[in-house]
Amino acid sequence: MRVQILAIIAFSMFPNSFAWGQLPLQPFRLRVVREHVDAASLNSDSCIAGKLYQVSDFSDPTANPKGMIWLSDTLELPWKQNASNFSSIKAGQYKAIATDASPAPGEPNLGWRILLQGTEPRYGILIHVGTRNLTSIRNTLGCILVGAQAASGLGPCQLADSPKFRDKIRSAYGDPSNKRPVELQIVESR
């Protein structure tokens, strides 16, 4: 009885937050753990490799990956003072939205992707599939690419099976029509 009363109060206070019989959606929380890179060793073909995990909370970003669900390997451009089209974005926490909206004219169709918010002065930072099954940092202008680094014969800045891993992340997100909020935390490994 008490739970029903609380639900009625919550619905009357926030009628647009959920439909009858539904609780608000839990955020889809992701953490990118970037591998440590020695800045002195970077060149134009360098990249930042990492791992993308689904997490239940952001309480301890330095915690052992125990309890985190690995979704994909990642690739980013090296840090170049947050320069648009040439740099990875700053480590930190970001709100985001999942989308499969049509791309702007002249842009590649990346399918389902995650658009980060709060990245000013940069815009359009995504977590997305590469443009080919074998993808490299040449397929990004500052976004986070997904795929697998384990394939033999790949260079250090290449990912395989990018569409497969995009689909795995989309599946973990759930029904795209649910508009579930997304939160991303980017941390540097120690």
What pLDDT digit, counting tens, does each position of 118-137 carry? Answer: 999 999 999 999 866 677 77
- pLDDT exceeds cutoff 90 at 109: no
DSSP symbol at 138? G
Whether the full predicted model's pTM is greater than 0.85, yes or no, is: no
Cβ atoms of residues 76 and 46 within 8 Å = no
Rounded CA separation 10/149 (Å): 46
Residue 2 banded pLDDT, cuts 50, 70, 90: low
Rounded Cα gap, residues 144 and 33, in angstroms: 12
| C-alpha 43 chain-centroid distance | 25
- For residue 22, what pLDDT band results from cuts at 50, 70 and 90? low
Q: Residue 99: pLDDT above 60? A: yes
